[in-house]
Structure 1
């Protein structure tokens, strides 16, 4: 043990050795291992990028379905509005016809 560990490190519960020390490697072997790690990270990054592209395509397909559904809802709402107006017109027409039958043709009546 050296003096630093004896006076400082041990008081702070520092260990002299790592719990999992790495073996010493030569430069060439260390560079090969580092290159292999980099290539593995690049392959992982490419795989993630492909998954992102696939997820984006699926999301765009779902968005297209939603937009088509909204278009159908809009068309249905327009048809309902036309139908509602037609029903109002039909009610007004029936009211006019009823007044004509009763002989109550009044020009001031808003139904005429």
Structure 2
């Protein structure tokens, strides 16, 4: 009888361990170099938890997407003083928060944490 109780307790502990929660984080770090008079922007991806940086540029009705692997760059043209951007570790989707693109260098960092249930 004692052995049966031990087996039941052991099984209960194993099942309890299956429903654990794991906290994960996603991060991205990049530098944007905007030359608005010439209409150019350079995405310099410094680091990303996914291995690449993804930039969404919105200028009026024009939408452009750039991506660069960590340690690499990508360029776009046609930016103006009304261009807004969103930078993420994966391709930006609906709901990304657009920010104004400013002349010169902008360092952009983002980190988000989330919990997954096993």
Larger radius of gyration between Structure 1 and Structure 2: 1
**TM-score, scaled relative to structure 1:** 0.29
Q: Which has the higher helix share?
A: 1
**TM-score, scaled relative to structure 2:** 0.28
Q: Which has the higher strand share?
A: 2
Bigger RCO (CA 8 Å, 6+ sep):
2
